[in-house]
Amino acid sequence: MTVMTHTMLKGSNVPVDAAAVRAVLRWTPGPGVPDVDASALLLGASGRVRSDEDFVFYNQPRHPSGLVRRLPKRSVPEGLTDTVEADLGALDASVDQVVIAASSDGAAFEQVPDLRILLFDAAFAEGEPLAVFDVRPETGEETAIICGELYRRGEGWKFRAVGQGYPTGLIGLATAFGISVDESEAADQDRAAGGAQDPAGPGPLPAAVPPPPSVPPGPAPAPATGTGPDSQATVQHQQPSYGYPPPVAHPAAPAAAHQPAYGFPQPAEPPAYGYPQPAAAAAHAPDPHFVLPPQGPQFVRS
What does the pLDDT look like over 46-84, one tens digit per residue? Answer: 999 999 999 999 999 999 999 999 999 999 999 999 999
> With 70 as the cut, is the pLDDT of residue 6 above it?
yes
- In percent, how much of the chain has pLDDT > 90? 54
Number of H-type helices and E-type strands within the chain: 2, 12
Whether residue 257 has pLDDT greater than 80: no
Residue 272 and residue 248: Cα distance in Å, rounded? Answer: 18
Residue-wise over 205-218: b if at least 16 C-beta within 10 A, else e? eeeeeeeeeeeeee
Confidence of residue 140 (pLDDT cuts 50, 70, 90): confident
pTM to 2 decimals? Answer: 0.62
Instruction: List all residues 6 or more positions away from 53 whose beta carbon is below 8 Å from its beta carbon.
Output: 60, 63, 64
Whether 288 has a pLDDT exceeding 50, the answer reads yes
Distance of alpha carbon 59 from the chain centroid: 20
Exposed, middle or buried: residue 227 (CB in 10 Å: 0-12, 13-18, 19+)? Answer: exposed
Q: What is the C-alpha to C-alpha distance for residues 56 and 53, in angstroms, rounded to an integer?
A: 7
Q: Are 153 and 16 in contact (CB under 8 A)?
A: no
Cα(48)–Cα(97) distance, rounded to whole angstroms? 9
- Which is more confidently placed, 206 or 298? 298
Q: Which helix (H) or strand (E) holds 4?
A: none
Helix, strand, coil fractions of the chain, as percent rounded to 5: 10, 30, 60
What pLDDT is attached to residue 278? Answer: 55
Lowest mean pLDDT among 166-175, 259-268, 282-291: 259-268
